[in-house]
Structure 1
Amino acid sequence: MLAGAALLAIIAAVIVTTVPGGCERRGGIATTSDEETKNELTRRAVGGIEVVTINGVTYNLELAADNPTRMKGLGGRSHIDEHGGMLFVFRVPNRLNFVMRDCLVPIDIIFVDGTGLVTATYTMPPEAPQGETETDLLYENRLKRYSSKFTAQFAIELQAGQIEKIGVKPGDKINLDIVRLQNLSR
């Protein structure tokens, strides 16, 4: 009887180890868990590129889908390509405020809500750099805030002058793969 129990334990161990890792079975089909899918999508998004067309002009935007990437943004860059920039993705819509932290060049920003509607646009000039004796708190407090005005889920930063060049304005619609992008955010 003991040998039979040991054999069953070995068979059970073999079955458990042959099911793909991070998957569960539903109706006989192995499916990746929601958490694993989200982690994979986020892994691909961080440092990834999203192709977005705004008023007929196509941009290759770096994705900022996690807090460290969103916080860094385009700070420290001495140049933004004419058709480059960054797409900031937030998990849930909220009233957003952006600043020009450590930004060396002017930047256009477009705030977009969870349906693709533009809520606000700005051209943001660079701010004076943080002073040697200036604390992080004092530096952050003196930076001008640029508001989405209404709830937004995305922000698009482009080379300064692009907003005027392509004529995008509040009320315009930008086609984004909203559900997929929401799944990227963490």
Structure 2
Amino acid sequence: MDVSRLKFLASAILALFLFVVLSVTAFSGPTAAADVTFTTEPLVIETAGGARHQFTVELALQSAQRQQGLMYRKEMAPDAGMLFDFEAPREVTMWMRNTLIPLDMLFIDAKGRITHIHEGAVPLSETVISSRGPVDFVLELNAGEVKRRSIRVGDRVRSAQIGNAP
């Protein structure tokens, strides 16, 4: 075999290999998502008006859990949510890529105070949603829960993960 044929054959093998790798990677998203598991805990939001709203939240504590979040879910119970722990105060940005349900996002400081709320995040949107300052936690709830329960900036979120459980 001459050199040009060997180069062509090597290129063809490399292209086939890359096609197979990329095909497997492209179809492993939802399957890989199913491999990420979450623990749960109770969480309470106390409003300035004195109301106490109880939820059971999944905890996104590790990098893989935070990356997965609520992606690919088709529904979530009204009293459920997900609490993301970022381990230290920082500006946080979120998006709704591969997230099928609309969400309200509550940005929370180390003491459990809500510092910013983004209501009605649009499913599948890649628009960046900012915490608008350093936060330690983000709580995702079903869209509409913030309005329905009259949750506001300044209200308190209490849980064992935050370290201020009642």
TM-score, normalised relative to structure 1? 0.61
Please state if 1:100 is matched with 2:96.
yes
Distance 1:127 1:171 in 2: 29
Distance verdict in 2 for CA 1:180–1:167, change over 3 Å: closer
Give me the CA root mean square deviation: 1.8
Please state if 1:79 is matched with 2:62.
no
Task: Give the share of equivalent positions with the same residue, in percent.
Answer: 29
Distance 2:63 2:164 in 1: 18
Give the greater-gyration-radius structure (CA). Answer: 1
4+ long deviations beyond 6 Å: none
Which residue of structure 2 lines up, in the alignment, with residue 126 of structure 1? 123
Which residue of structure 1 lines up, in the alignment, with residue 158 of structure 2? 175
Q: In the alignment, is the contact (CA less than 8 A) between 1:114 and 1:152 conserved in 2?
A: yes
Q: Kindly state the Cα deviation for residue 127 of structure 1 after the two structures are TM-superposed.
A: 2.5
The one of 39, 42, 63 aligned to 1:51: 42
Distance 1:113 1:50 in 2: 19
Q: Kindly state the Cα deviation for residue 117 of structure 1 after the two structures are TM-superposed.
A: 1.1
User: Where does the alignment leave 5 or more consecutive residues of structure 2 unmatched?
Assistant: 1-36, 47-51
**What do residues 14-36 of structure 1 show as CA deviations (whole Å, max 9, x unaligned)?**
xxxxxxxxxxxxxxxxxxxxxxx
Distance 2:149 2:108 in 1: 16
TM-score, normalised relative to structure 2? 0.68
The structure carrying a bigger strand percent of its residues is 2
Distance 2:124 2:97 in 1: 8
Q: In the alignment, is the contact (CA less than 8 A) between 1:90 and 1:154 conserved in 2?
A: yes
Distance 1:91 1:54 in 2: 20
The structure carrying a bigger helix percent of its residues is 1
Q: In the alignment, is the contact (CA less than 8 A) between 1:58 and 1:83 conserved in 2?
A: yes
User: Where does the alignment leave 5 or more consecutive residues of structure 1 unmatched?
Assistant: 1-45, 129-142, 182-186
